[in-house]
Amino acid sequence: MGDPSKRRLKRVACYLPIAAAGFEFVWIFVLFLALIFSVGDTPYVNTPEKSRLFDTLSAWPAAAGVLFGVVAILFRLPVKAVDWFFLIAGILVCTGLVYLCVKGIW
């Protein structure tokens, strides 16, 4: 039998993409607060450079979720059907969030 801590790590790794999708919403809220506090009461002038910066910053947690999911699939970490379900759901949600963030829709 293997080490129980390694088995636990394998089980938790399958849920990292869905956790990254949840963290994405917190991250976008933090970026919004950073924008409000950095601008203050002066008018915000949106330039393409600023817009691309926030689009890129907002996509990082979701991109990490996709990366974690691909690594979990490559190393065959999911064991049960529920692990596969949450892994694939997390990858799909994170992929959609990356698309929305990079295109500036989010």
Q: Which domain holds residue 84?
A: 4-102
Confidence of residue 5 (pLDDT cuts 50, 70, 90): low
The pLDDT, as a whole number, for residue 45 is 80
Which burial class, exposed, middle or buried, applies to 95 when counting CB atoms under 10 A from its CB (0-12, 13-18, 19+)?
middle
Side-chain-facing half-sphere of 92: CA atoms under 13 Å: 6
Q: How many domains, in total, are found in the chain?
A: 1
The pLDDT, as a whole number, for residue 55 is 86
pTM of the model: 0.85
The pLDDT, as a whole number, for residue 106 is 66
Q: What does the pLDDT average to over 44-65? A: 87
Contact 93, 58 (CB under 8 A): no
Q: What does the pLDDT average to over 2-18? A: 80
58 C-beta neighbours (distance < 10 Å), count: 22
